[in-house]
Amino acid sequence: MADSELVAEIRSILETPREDFRTRVADEAEALKAAVDDGTFDNSEGLAGLEYEFYAVRGQDPTTTGGTHRTRGAGTLCRVPRRTLSFTGFEKELGLHNAEMRTSPQPHNQYGLAAQGDEVRGRLAMVRRAVLPHDIHLVSDGLWTIPPVGESANEYLLDAVEIDGITLAANMSESARYHAMANTSYDIGMRVDAPHVSLQAETIMPESLITSIQPHYQVPRAAELPEFFRYAIRIAGPLLALGVNSPLFPPDLYDDGADPRSVLDDAHHEHRIGVFESVLNGDEVQKVRFPRDIASTDEAIDRIAADETFVPQLLDPTGRFDDRFRHLRHKHGTYWRWVRPVFDGHTEASANARIEFRPLPGQPTVRDSIALQAAFTGALVGLYARQHPVRELPWSVAEQNFYAAMRDGLEAELTWITADGLRTTAPDELFKDLFDHVETGLREQLLPDEHVDAYIEPLRHRVRGVRTSASWKLDIASDCVEQGASLEEAIETAQRAYLEQQRGTLLEGSFEAWPQASAVSPT
């Protein structure tokens, strides 16, 4: 798309009559509630799905990098050819370095969950082969830290041009919706605010620092969504603690003169949370936040409709069943909650109500990502089936758990209510009870014991060793600093160690088999 076409499309979005859009959203919300009441969004059983984001780096081809991962080119961020994504079933995401896949929803049973992992591996293997001639590797991670060759992270994220009064981020995908966000009068931060990091941009491009996995669970009956949602909010903190994977930023984003030891000591184990919130939240309106409980599906729909309007757009039908709710669906695209309800369907037969779980970063391996997906769906089914008393954990405590997990991972103090109704902050009691109900939820779907164990064991291993990929990176960086390395050297060493381990284990391995940080730290 030429810049002039993109600018014209952005301007068209910005000129959308807001009142017309609001009226259509309100009418469609009522129509959606009627369709939900009619049973259109009910299904015969629960289904599982997954969105999986990656970023691209230069590889370790001896012809381009000198044959060693220590050379400057290896592991540096790079842009992905757009055509390559289109014919491998991947989608473009915010940054030119991003790629995203969405699995096909599958029955929440032995074969459906296995199909989720197989689809991810199959499509990932295909795209890896397609980009290998370009010396590109896709990385599953939470936050990239080594910028492209010849550019700083600041330069890459802040590079922008103005054309006819419209600001365009130079390294952002050609999505008018993304670019429009930088040109609206809406209250939006467009900054990164983290310990020892302060970055102000003219666009939302800093959000492209982060990548995630987003498991989905389609509830069997739409009327049950509020109760499943209540449990999803209460497991958000513990599952985030298990999955943290973004403790470090690109070195040049840290404040000048920042003490390396203080940077590492103050690091949040999941900086992804803070990046997303600070980039997209304004001073007055916080659209990215931990969600409140919902009492009914009607309330869930009303909340989406009542959310602050952002980049409205009047849309033409596309032939989908849910075109009748297309403006509400468009608004849902900026309904940024860490756990959120979704109502859609290409056809009437596929119409569904589901819960999208958004806090988790990309994981070291596919097996680890699928383990967290199974833990999410299994916990929802198991806790709901047993009407587990953790549903009575106060919402404010669930929120505290979430942000404690963001800061400290498995070292956070989290509060839980066990199946016996006892409140505990002991990690072994919390995770034993949670994993017991993940097992219950998976066995409810007739998964064999060996399959259940295979899904949960990578997560049990993390709890036993109090070791996540975030703590692994921090340990390596800390060892480097202790030996006199600069902050830049420490971060790049930790990141290249992560990339080197992932390269051989992404498709078939597991983080639990990675060596201890001390074994890969420089001596």
| pLDDT of 1 above 90 | no
Task: Tell me the CA distances in angstroms from 467 to 67, 246, 349, 433, 462, one per residue in order.
Answer: 31, 14, 43, 19, 5
Q: What is the pTM of this model?
A: 0.96
Residue among 424, 444, 442 at smallest CA distance from 433:
424
**pLDDT by residue (tens digit) across 249-293?**
999 999 999 999 999 999 999 999 999 999 999 998 999 999 999
Phi-psi region of 299 (alpha: psi -120 to 50; beta: other; left: phi over 0): alpha
**pLDDT by residue (tens digit) across 332-342?**
999 999 999 99
pLDDT at residue 66 in the model: 37
Cα angle, residue 302 at apex, residues 210 and 101 outer, rounded to 5°: 30
Lowest pLDDT segment from 118-132, 359-373, 423-437: 118-132
What's the pLDDT band for 59 if we cut at 50, 70, 90? confident
Other C-beta atoms lying within 10 Å of the C-beta of residue 151: 15
One-letter amino acid at 465 equals G
Of the chain, the end-to-end C-alpha distance in Å amounts to: 50
Q: What is the mean pLDDT of residues 30-53?
A: 97
SS3 208: helix
Rounded distance between C-alpha atoms, residue 269 and residue 135, angstroms: 30
Q: How far is CA 370 from the centre of its chain?
A: 14
The percentage of the chain sitting over the pLDDT mark of 90, rounded to a whole number, equals: 91
Q: Of all helices (H) and strands (E), which one includes residue 379?
A: helix 366-386
pLDDT at residue 71 in the model: 47
**pLDDT by residue (tens digit) across 423-446?**
999 999 999 999 999 999 999 998
3-class SS letters over 239-276: HHHHHCCECCCCHHHECCCCCHHHHHHHCCCEHHHHHH
